[in-house]
Amino acid sequence: MVRGRICGLSVRDVRFPTSLGGHGSDAMHTDPNYSAAYVILETDAGDGLKGYGITFTLGRGTEVVVCAVNALAHHVLSKDLRDIVGDFRGFYRQLTSDGQLRWIGPEKGAVHLATAAVLNAVWDLWAKQEGKDPRTLLSCIDFRYITDVLTEEEAFEILQKGQVGKKEREEQMLMHGYPAYTTSCAWLGYSDDTLKQLCTEALKDGWTRFKVKVGADLQDDIRRCRLIRDMIGPEKILMMDANQRWDVPEAVEWMSKLAEFKPLWIEEPTSPDDILGHATISKALVPLGIGVATGEQCHNRVIFKQLLQVKALQFLQIDSCRLGSVNENLSVLLMAKKFEIPVCPHAGGVGLCELVQHLIIFDFISVSASLKNRMCEYVDHLHEHFRYPVIIKKASYMPPKDAGYSTEMKTDSVQKHQYPDGDVWKKLLAAQGN
Ligand SMILES: C[C@H](O)[C@@H](O)[C@@H](O)[C@H](O)C(=O)O
Ligand SMILES: [Mg+2]
């Protein structure tokens, strides 16, 4: 039973100094500090349940997103949770269409990340209170702007079909988990020695799919890709990620030089907004057997729709915090199913693995019903700060068993990493003379 009026919303600026170790570095983000705007919702239900929501950010960007969350807070405060989820589509639209905020969006950028943080908290709270059927899930989706490719009725049919064999797929997940790949071995800022050492460990731990960062320097890329391909052997799967570094012709040319290392995909070869550019690259790379993957910085369902319409991607990477929470991600999973494009979520960051595992396991059980060409990203940083961290076994995500969206962080971790007054930052800033 849904219950409670939202009587409190707090948002914290939580940052981890990951840049100090080069963790998370790529061709465009050379010194990322993995961070989160962390939202806590409280209700007057008296049951002690809270809703925790995060969105992933980097360093100073968190300040802006925290402001945006505060600007959205009045939509949630004093609302009855029953009214919110009773018309979740309307509520989603209320947030994304706020007359004074949509000018700095709409449905993109800092304000959309803030929407994700707030709605992720609502989903966490709601998930702790009750389960959901296909009709309820559909009622959360804003179909505005996508009915030309997916109507509510078509979406319902997909979910209805997804009911067939659901039990078996649930059991399969509980037994074997959802297949994952690791990005942790080959951040761009890592030395060759670190790369080798991490790769050796990952192989020992049973990883069979690896992603390497590329895009800054071709000779470096060739050396690192050769090193990793030699280590993992010809059979294991290798993906490459350029984090938007290239122009369109440059992407094709660069990848033709890296094709000998047999990557399954090149991720974010160019600007995430260049839909036709992605289509051109996809087409040009077909003869090389390389697919295009993108989505971690895809603004919203509209851009995903167009990427699908013009065959601009062969692997679709949803992100639990970039899109407008579960609501918008559901619409993208359903569109991907319609276009028969495999979803391979973006994860890592702070908490992205924790959240997105729910979405991709749901996708397998209730939407795609397939594991073909599918896997979920995994990065082994910062899980210790979460109350319900992901469980990886044999390079697979084991389904989370606690109710909720696995979004809650440990109080102590939040306190220590709060910027700028948490202990970790007080020390670091003092050492830097600030
Ligand atoms: C700055 C970040 O670490 C990115 O490099 C990361 O999200 C990356 O694109 C990925 O695919 O994991
Ligand atoms: Mg990436």
Tokens of 257: 């030089």
Q: Which of 211, 213, 358, 417 is catalytic?
A: 213
Domain ranges within the chain, ordered by starting residue: 5-146, 164-409
Q: Which of 15, 104, 108 is CA-nearest to residue 63? A: 15
183 lines ligand 1 (CB under 6 A): yes
Mean pLDDT of the chain: 98
For the entire predicted model, the pTM comes to: 0.97
Question: Where does the pLDDT of residue 434 fall: very low under 50, low under 70, confident under 90, or very high at 90 and above?
Answer: confident
> Is the pLDDT confidence value at 242 over 90?
yes
- 67 burial via Cβ count (<10 Å: 0-12, 13-18, 19+): middle
- 164 burial via Cβ count (<10 Å: 0-12, 13-18, 19+): exposed
Q: Which residue has the CA at smallest separation from atom 10 of ligand 1?
A: 346
**In the Cβ-directed half-sphere of 229, how many Cα atoms lie within 13 Å?**
17
Average pLDDT over residues 86-105: 97
Does the ipTM exceed 0.90?
Answer: yes
What are the residues whose beta carbons fall under 8 Å from the beta carbon of 380, sequence distance 6 or more?
182, 184, 392
Percent of the chain with pLDDT over 70: 100
| Catalytic-residue membership of 346 | yes
Pocket perturbation via mutation, ligand 1, pick of 18, 214, 243, 317 by most ligand atoms within 8 A of CB: 243
Q: Which residues pair with 158 in a beta bridge?
A: none
Q: What is the pLDDT of residue 392?
A: 98
Contact by Cβ (8 Å): 342, 336: yes
Superfamily covering domain 164-409: Enolase-like C-terminal domain (3.20.20.120)
* Strand duo 209-213 + 237-241: pairing: parallel
Alpha-carbon distance of 54 to 72, in angstroms, equals 14
Tokens of 121: 């908290």
Q: What is the pLDDT of residue 215?
A: 98
Pocket perturbation via mutation, ligand 1, pick of 29, 267, 381 by most ligand atoms within 8 A of CB: 29
354 lines ligand 1 (CB under 6 A): no
The CATH code of domain 5-146 reads 3.30.390.10
Ligand 1 closest atom vs CA 58: 1
182 lines ligand 1 (CB under 6 A): no
Contact by Cβ (8 Å): 400, 387: no
> Is the pLDDT confidence value at 1 over 90?
no
pLDDT in tens, 122-146: 999 999 999 899 999 999 999 999 9
